[in-house]
Copies of this chain bind each other. A is one copy, B any other.
Amino acid sequence: MKNGAKHTTIIDIAKILRISPSTVSRALNNHPDIKIKTKEKVRNIAKKLQYSPNTIAQSLKNNRTKTIGVMIPEIKHDFFSSAISGIEEIAYHSGYTIIVCQSNESYEREVLNTIALMRHRVAGVIVSISQNTKSGEHFKDLLRRKIPLVFFDRVCDDIEASKVVIDDYKSAFDAVTFLINKGYKKIAHFAGPQGVGVYEKRLKGYVDAIKENKIPFVNGLLLHAGLNTSDGYESMDSLFKSKLIPDAIFTVNDPVALGACKRIKEAGLKIPNDIAAIGFSNNVITSVVDPSLTTVDQFPFEMGRKAAELLIQTIENKLMKPKTIIIDTKLIVREST
């Protein structure tokens, strides 16, 4: 079961040149104690034998790795894959590699993945937590072991770690206010799973925007469901059945908005003339659907970059205490409003 891999080591090089491994090591690391002649010889042999240092051995010796653990719910979501892309970008340029794992929205798997990352002695971890994560004990384990931790988007509020988030409350508030200013008065909200901070805040933003603008709050216009297209479809369907027809909807995310739009179109109504719609996240998809969807851009690539920057700064002791970065969102106005 061994990897058959046979790599050349500094000992191989040492033997050939009849010098000691330590000299080879110092030569390769350009240590001043080694004379240039020797360094050149070492480097030549190293190149000839395709020597590449064994990170494993280095890590063991130095008690430190250049690996960052990334755990997100699901890679296939636009938002998260863009974030990973941003993380990888920064990591790459700082000489770090990233280990990616997905929790699949499962708390148990999140815990197991955390353990796996600890075993790997990652230098730090970047996380967006699963929907079903209530306890943050596994993250506290990381901190107890002095492994730096950065949350992004879906954060764990009661853990002292750096965070990269958007202002979900304000983004939602602004989106709804935008609708109100456009003259819409019966605005529905399809909320996400409560218990997850970001969705709670979006809901609160909706409620407060309604209240502050002195629009009557109608309980029936506030629906709770999941995060998928089907949820949006069904929520809209139930509104139609209840004869409580809004003139605009604001949904927890883009897929839900799209599902709702589908149902609206099936009802023979026009968007935005009969019902306007705003989603959340600016999935690529929103710009090409017909009508294109007004939505809130969270700049996930940028969030990933910032999270990686924060983490690396913490790892390298350039950032001594947790910091929260709030990424500005942008309402992307399109045809659906």
Chain A interfacial positions (CB closer than 8 Å to B): 1-7, 50, 52-57, 59-60, 62-65, 67, 74-76, 78, 81-82, 84-85, 88, 92, 97-102, 115-116, 118-121, 123, 141, 144-147, 258, 262, 284-285, 288-290, 301, 315-317
List the 10 closest pairs (A to B, CB-CB), nearest first: A290-B290, A4-B146, A81-B81, A55-B119, A5-B146, A75-B85, A100-B100, A285-B285, A3-B64, A56-B59
Per the bound structure, the CA–CA distance linking A2 and B119 in Å amounts to 17
Query: Which chain B residue lies CB-closest to A60?
Result: B56
Which residues on B sit within 8 Å (CB–CB) of A67?
99
Per the bound structure, the CA–CA distance linking A316 and B147 in Å amounts to 32
Query: Which chain B residue lies CB-closest to A262?
Result: B288
Across the interface, do B118 and A2 meet the contact criterion of CB distance under 8 Å? no
Query: Which chain B residue lies CB-closest to A285?
Result: B285
Across the interface, do B99 and A97 meet the contact criterion of CB distance under 8 Å? yes
Which residues on B sit within 8 Å (CB–CB) of A317?
1
Across the interface, do A6 and B146 meet the contact criterion of CB distance under 8 Å? yes
Across the interface, do A121 and B6 meet the contact criterion of CB distance under 8 Å? no
The residue that A55 contacts in the complex, of B74, B76, B121, with Cβ under 8 A, is B121
The residue that A145 contacts in the complex, of B6, B76, B120, with Cβ under 8 A, is B6
Across the interface, do B100 and A84 meet the contact criterion of CB distance under 8 Å? yes
Across the interface, do B81 and A75 meet the contact criterion of CB distance under 8 Å? yes
Across the interface, do A102 and B88 meet the contact criterion of CB distance under 8 Å? yes
Per the bound structure, the CA–CA distance linking A139 and B301 in Å amounts to 29
Given A88-B101, A99-B97, A147-B3, A119:B288 Cβ within 8 A = no
